[in-house]
């Protein structure tokens, strides 16, 4: 070690050089058996040890450095006195600050204090300082050590003063005084503040009052405040309210109008908006025209497009992926397997065969009657899968796969839910029929598809009998359009394109995500079509922009600094609906000013627009995405729970909260109801298809009877889809003059409220509620990650529906296909729902497939039951002979079935859901299955007992 009066040089394997100012502390010397050890350390460096020195030399060397080091720090302290005094004023000022001590405000003070302490204060010899200087150092170091606590105390003191000083403002801003929770949210001003505003909690009052508070308090000038809404109507309403309440003009903006202005500011002029940007029909028409043009002009793309409608649009699952018939049938019904010729088929492999035949100009019939009468005994006529019209050749597709056995032979297997022996017997029976009647049968097999050879094998087997005459891609596409099969694909492409542009995705990124999510060949096929569609779409913009371009381009200008933002307070309404691209724009604007704040108001329980690109994770991870940094912590933010609802009574408010929080990912919130109800507020009415209208009238009649004298009660009819609007709505309004009746879809009802809500058609099914029409999995390539909780978004849709009501909610349930949501509400007594037990006898499983038997009324007032999978399963039963409406169910007593009317029957020994009734045969009366001739179960009539 060498010291020359200013610089210290250490020569060792880890060499170092530093000045006195860079020493973190004075050197020290320790005596040891092998000589002295000199210890020395520079700032932010490991300790340097010199061992084996002579003790006196080490002490002299250390003392010379120590004296110079202390003198240098003393001199530095005198030079820094003004900075220290200023810093202490700021620290002391936190106790009585005139501005909210946000992280972005206090963090620079803490950084300066910590830097000063490390660089100077901690190095000063306390014994050489005056008392006043030691006190200053102590206060500074105490602030560094307890910054979190001191800032929190400053926040509490500031808010207490503000709540008192602005009490008149909070009392008079709205017709009713703002609640304590609303006031707290308004004076809170962290780097990022999230206000959890549940249904009916007055979020519009909060965000407009926040803007007014910022302006009237002088915290911000109007040009420094950005108020963002999603819809122009909401923006206009907020602007008008702020000016009316505060006398300050502040224009609320939509994201698109803001983005358009940013582009105009940077580019000097605003590019023209594409004609289809504000017209969804025109947008989808453009996508359809692009598809049609590609079919005509791009041969490889045309193959991909036609192939999509032929079969690649479907995922690669088969019967072997399902353990139960009911699950498989439900899956097939959702797919709606309709061929290019227009008929509905029963499996993906049948669809592939039918479409190959059509594409290649081979005329065929699907499931025709066999030309010879071969069925008897009451069984259905034999209908082969296909008949080729020109050659008369029959084609049967057999759902069997092959597994290799130990001896090298193959064993045929069937899907898990299929009786293998019975199926193989059926195959042999069909072969025997064709052999007996000398008709030609071609056979295809599921194992050919498994090997990727189904269509090649089909072509080879048909070649000796038929000549292919392929139809042109244009003809096939026109056929697709004619059958209305193109519309859903055009919608998918249009939605995908908007998400793709809005999120700034790349095709390679989408392809990689498709592999990660195991979307297989379907994703690859889709992207091969999307790429040319996207390129042509961009080409047709011809210099114009759409809304996605607006957000993306404006964000880029904000991120690069080409746009200089004046905004230091960004207030965002309906934050639960924010998308990835909009969140990125907000973040870019906030980043331009070190003291900028974001104030977001929303309710993650009402996040129901994932299909439009909203990303609930931006709200759930609000701090990580938008928060500040303080004292080593990132994501610093404030969350305020408004809690109180001004709308719903206790029974509705608490039930809605309990229902939505079944998903543990939802943010927990306090709910204080608007009032209490002495009568049940959550009711379930059970219906069957034929009495839905009459039951709705009964509900409206009861609501009209309960209406206050001389005052009309509002009734909001809600449906999951538009087509659920009652066709007799005008008649209902005339029939119930004391009720103000309206219909909305649940999505369109957000922001609305009514005395009473009636949720229509709550049945289990594709278009039921919860809806089984989920977003196409392909959208996950350009969408926020799907939530693992079952029906996560549908549960939030239900929450929105429940919380539109002030006094009561009536759920129109289904007697035969009950909604899972209704069942949950009825099964858990904590919800307090009443009703719906009177029709429980209609909830019967199908013995054939495990689905449900649906009651079908007849003209004579009786009922028969058929499986919900009517075209796939075909199981049906007559009702109880005694009452004509009920269905006998198996009782605990072995061998008996009992109807709700009291009638009892012996159970059928052969089938799962039949029972025995008296029949007459050649040898007299006997007991036969009610499902005869489909089921041949029978028994002898027991002789009467003789006393």
Range with lowest mean pLDDT among 153-157, 632-636, 932-936: 932-936
Residue 841, pLDDT > 60, answer no
**Among the ranges given (76-85, 154-163, 528-537, 616-625), the one the predictor scored with the smallest mean pLDDT:** 76-85
pLDDT in tens, 23-65: 888 899 999 888 899 999 888 788 888 898 999 999 999 999 9
Phi–psi pair at 838, nearest 5 degrees: -70, -15
77 pLDDT exceeds 60? yes
> Tokens 């530095």 identify what position?
76
Question: Where are the domains positioned within the chain?
Answer: 2-79, 81-152, 168-271+549-641, 276-312+479-541, 319-471, 650-842, 844-939
Equal CATH topology for 2-79 and 168-271+549-641: no
Per-residue confidence at 839, pLDDT binned at 50, 70, 90?
A: very low
- What's the confidence (pLDDT) of residue 363? 97
Residue 893: per-residue pLDDT: 66
Name the region of 377 (left: φ>0; alpha: ψ -120 to 50; beta: rest). Answer: left
Lowest average pLDDT, out of 279-293, 306-320, 427-441, goes to 306-320
Architecture of domain 168-271+549-641 in this structure: 3-Layer(aba) Sandwich (3.40)
Percentage of residues in the chain having pLDDT higher than 90:
55
Contact (Cβ atoms closer than 8 angstroms) between residue 6 and residue 20: yes
The response to whether 201 counts as a known ligand-binding position is: yes
- Mean pLDDT, rounded, for 326-355: 91
Q: Is 832 annotated as a binding residue?
A: no
Q: Is 202 among the annotated ligand-binding positions?
A: yes
Pick from 419-423, 746-750, 910-914: least confident:
910-914
Kindly list the distances between the CA atom of residue 152 and the CA atoms of 85, 138, 147, 475, 615, in Å, as whole numbers in the listed order.
Answer: 23, 20, 8, 72, 31
Band of residue 836 on the pLDDT scale cut at 50, 70, 90: low
> Which stretch of 262-266, 289-293, 609-613, 650-654 has the lowest confidence by average pLDDT?
609-613
Mean pLDDT of the chain: 90
- Residues 405 and 415 sit within 8 Å (Cβ to Cβ): no
**Mean predicted confidence (pLDDT) in 910-924:** 85
pLDDT tens-digit map of 796-818? 999 999 999 999 999 999 877 78
Q: Which of these, 522, 514, 538, lies nearest to 489 by C-alpha position? A: 522
Q: pLDDT per residue over 188-206, tens digit each?
A: 999 999 999 988 888 889 9
pLDDT, residue 842, reads 57
| Confidence band of 376 (pLDDT split at 50, 70, 90) | low
* Degrees to nearest 5, angle at CA 129 with 124 and 134: 80
Residue 147 has pLDDT above 80, yes or no: yes
pLDDT at 617 over 60: yes
Does 112 score more than 50 pLDDT?
yes
What is the structure's pLDDT at 630?
96
Considering only CA atoms, which of 188, 202, 195, 181 is closest in space to residue 602?
195
Residue in 578, 646, 648, 641 with CA at minimum distance from that of residue 610: 578
Q: Is 18 annotated as a binding residue?
A: no
The token pair that represents 266 in the structure block: 């940077």
Instruction: Yes or no: say if 399 and 347 are a contact pair by the CB < 8 Å rule.
Output: yes
Across 833-842, b (16+ Cβ under 10 Å) vs e yields bebbeebebb
Rounded to whole angstroms, how far apart are CA atoms 644 and 669? Answer: 10
Q: What is the DSSP string of 3-46?
A: E-SSEEEE-STT-EEEEGGGBSS--EEE--TT-EEEEE-BTTSP
CATH topology of domain 2-79: PH-domain like (2.30.29)
Out of 71-75, 163-167, 674-678, which region has the weakest mean confidence (pLDDT)? Answer: 71-75
Helix (H, G, I), strand (E, B) or coil at 394: strand
- How far from 653 is each of 200, 610, 659, 720, 801, CA to CA, in Å? 10, 24, 10, 21, 12
What is the CATH T-level fold of the domain 650-842, as seen in this structure?
Rossmann fold (3.40.50)
Confidence (pLDDT) at 24 = 83
Name the H helices within 247-323.
255-267, 280-297, 299-307
Q: What is the pTM of this model?
A: 0.77
Q: Which residue has the tokens 């992926």?
A: 321
DSSP 767: T
* pLDDT beyond 50 at 153: yes
pLDDT value of residue 840: 46
Integer Cα distance of 412 and 447 in angstroms: 9
Q: What is the pLDDT of residues 548-577, one digit of tens each?
A: 999 999 999 999 999 999 999 999 999 999
Give residue for tokens 């036969």.
Answer: 928
Maximum pairwise Cα distance, the chain: 130
Instruction: Read off the pLDDT of residues 676-733 as tens digits, 9 standing for 90 and up.
Output: 988 899 999 988 777 889 999 999 999 998 877 778 999 999 999 999 999 999 999 9
Sign of CA dihedral 10, 16, 17, 19: negative
Burial of residue 723 (CB within 10 Å: 0-12, 13-18, 19+) is: exposed
Question: Residue 115, annotated ligand binder?
Answer: no
Instruction: Determine the average pLDDT of the residues in 89-96.
Output: 92
């Amino acid at each position: 070690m060498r010291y020359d009066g200013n610089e210290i040089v250490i020569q060792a394997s880890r060499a170092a050089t530093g000045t006195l100012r860079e020493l973190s502390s004075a050197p020290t010397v320790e005596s040891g058996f092998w000589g002295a050890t000199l210890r020395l350390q520079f700032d932010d460096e490991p300790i340097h040890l010199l061992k084996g020195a002579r003790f006196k030399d080490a002490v002299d060397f250390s003392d010379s450095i120590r004296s110079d080091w202390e003198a240098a720090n003393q001199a530095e302290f005198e030079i820094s006195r003004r900075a220290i005094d200023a810093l202490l004023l700021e620290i002391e000022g936190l106790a009585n600050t005139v501005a909210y001590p946000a992280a972005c405000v206090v963090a620079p003070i803490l950084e300066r204090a910590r830097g000063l302490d490390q660089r100077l204060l901690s190095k000063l010899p306390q014994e050489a300082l005056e008392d006043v200087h030691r006190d200053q150092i102590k206060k500074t170091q105490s602030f560094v050590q307890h910054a979190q606590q001191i800032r929190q105390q400053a926040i509490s003191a500031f808010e207490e003063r503000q709540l008192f000083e602005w009490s008149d403002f909070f009392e008079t801003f709205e017709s009713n005084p703002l609640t304590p929770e609303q006031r707290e949210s308004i004076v809170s001003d962290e780097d990022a503040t999230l206000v959890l505003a549940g249904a009916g909690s007055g979020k519009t009052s909060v965000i407009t009052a926040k803007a007014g508070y910022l302006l009237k308090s002088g915290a911000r000038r109007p040009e420094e405040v950005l108020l963002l809404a999603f819809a122009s109507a909401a923006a206009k309403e907020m602007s008008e309210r702020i000016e009316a309440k505060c006398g300050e003009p502040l224009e609320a903006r939509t994201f698109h109008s803001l983005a358009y202005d940013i582009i105009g500011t940077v580019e000097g002029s605003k590019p023209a908006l594409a004609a289809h940007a504000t017209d969804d029909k025109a947008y989808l028409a453009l996508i359809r025209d692009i598809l049609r043009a590609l079919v005509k002009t791009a041969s490889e793309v045309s193959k991909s497009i036609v192939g999509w409608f032929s079969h690649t649009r479907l995922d690669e699952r088969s019967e072997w992926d399902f353990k139960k018939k009911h699950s498989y049938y439900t899956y097939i019904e959702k797919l709606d397997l309709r061929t290019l010729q227009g008929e509905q088929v029963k499996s993906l492999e049948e669809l592939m065969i039918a479409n190959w035949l059509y594409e290649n100009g081979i005329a065929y019939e699907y499931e025709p009657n066999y030309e010879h009468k071969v069925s008897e005994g009451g069984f259905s006529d034999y209908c082969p899968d296909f008949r080729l019209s020109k050659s008369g050749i029959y084609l049967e597709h057999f759902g069997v796969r092959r597994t290799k056995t130990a001896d090298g032979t193959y064993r045929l297997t069937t899907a898990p839910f299929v009786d293998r022996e019975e199926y193989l017997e059926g195959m042999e029976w069909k072969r025997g029929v064709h052999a007996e009647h000398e008709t030609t049968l071609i056979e295809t097999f599921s194992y050919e598809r498994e090997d990727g050879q189904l269509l090649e094998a089909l072509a080879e087997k048909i070649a000796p009998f038929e000549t292919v005459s392929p139809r042109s891609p244009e003809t096939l596409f026109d056929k697709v359009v004619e059958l209305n099969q193109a519309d859903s694909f055009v919608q998918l492409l249009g939605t995908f394109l908007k998400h793709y542009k809005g999120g700034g995705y790349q095709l390679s990124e989408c392809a990689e995500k498709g592999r990660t999510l195991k979307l297989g060949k379907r994703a690859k096929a889709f992207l091969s079509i999307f790429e040319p569609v996207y390129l042509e779409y961009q080409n047709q913009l011809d210099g114009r922009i759409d809304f996605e371009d607006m957000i993306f381009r404006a964000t880029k200008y904000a991120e690069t600094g080409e746009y200089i933002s004046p905004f230091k307070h960004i207030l965002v309404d309906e934050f639960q609906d924010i998308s990835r691209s909009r969140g990125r724009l907000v973040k870019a604007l906030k980043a331009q000013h070190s003291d900028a704040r974001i104030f977001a108001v929303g309710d993650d329980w009402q996040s129901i627009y994932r299909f439009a690109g909203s990303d609930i994770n931006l709200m759930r991870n609000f701090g990580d995405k938008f928060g500040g940094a303080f004292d080593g912590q990132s994501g610093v933010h404030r969350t305020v729970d408004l809690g109180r609802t001004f709308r719903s009574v206790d029974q509705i408010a608490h039930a809605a909260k309990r229902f939505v929080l079944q998903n543990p990912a939802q943010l927990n919130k306090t709910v204080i109801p608007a009032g209490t109800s002495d009568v049940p507020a959550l009711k379930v009415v059970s219906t069957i298809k034929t009495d839905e209208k009459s039951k709705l009238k009964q509900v409206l009649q009861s609501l009209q009877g309960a209406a206050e004298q001389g005052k009309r009660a509002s009734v909001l009819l809600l449906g999951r889809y538009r087509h659920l609007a009652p066709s007799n709505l005008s008649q209902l309004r005339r029939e119930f003059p004391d009720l103000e009746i309206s219909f909305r879809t649940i999505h369109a009802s957000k922001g609305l409220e009514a005395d009473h809500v009636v949720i229509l058609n709550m049945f289990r099914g594709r278009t039921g509620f919860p809806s089984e029409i989920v977003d196409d999995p392909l959208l996950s390539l350009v969408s926020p990650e799907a939530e693992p909780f079952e029906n996560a978004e549908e549960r939030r849709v239900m929450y929105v529906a429940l919380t539109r009501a002030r006094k009561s909610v009536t759920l129109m349930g289904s007697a035969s296909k009950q909604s899972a949501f209704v069942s949950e509400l009825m099964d858990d007594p904590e919800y307090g729902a009443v009703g719906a037990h009177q029709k429980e006898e209609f909830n019967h499983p199908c013995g054939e497939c495990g689905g449900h038997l649906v009651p079908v009324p007849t003209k004579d007032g009786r009922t028969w039951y058929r499986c919900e999978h009517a075209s796939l399963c075909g199981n049906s039963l007559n009702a109880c002979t005694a009452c004509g409406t009920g269905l006998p169910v198996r009782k605990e007593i072995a061998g008996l079935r009992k109807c709700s009317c009291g009638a009892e029957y012996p159970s059928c020994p052969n089938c799962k859901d039949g029972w025995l009734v008296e029949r007459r045969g050649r040898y007299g009366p006997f007991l036969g299955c009610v499902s005869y001739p489909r089921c041949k179960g029978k028994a002898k009539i027991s002789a009467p007992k003789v006393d």
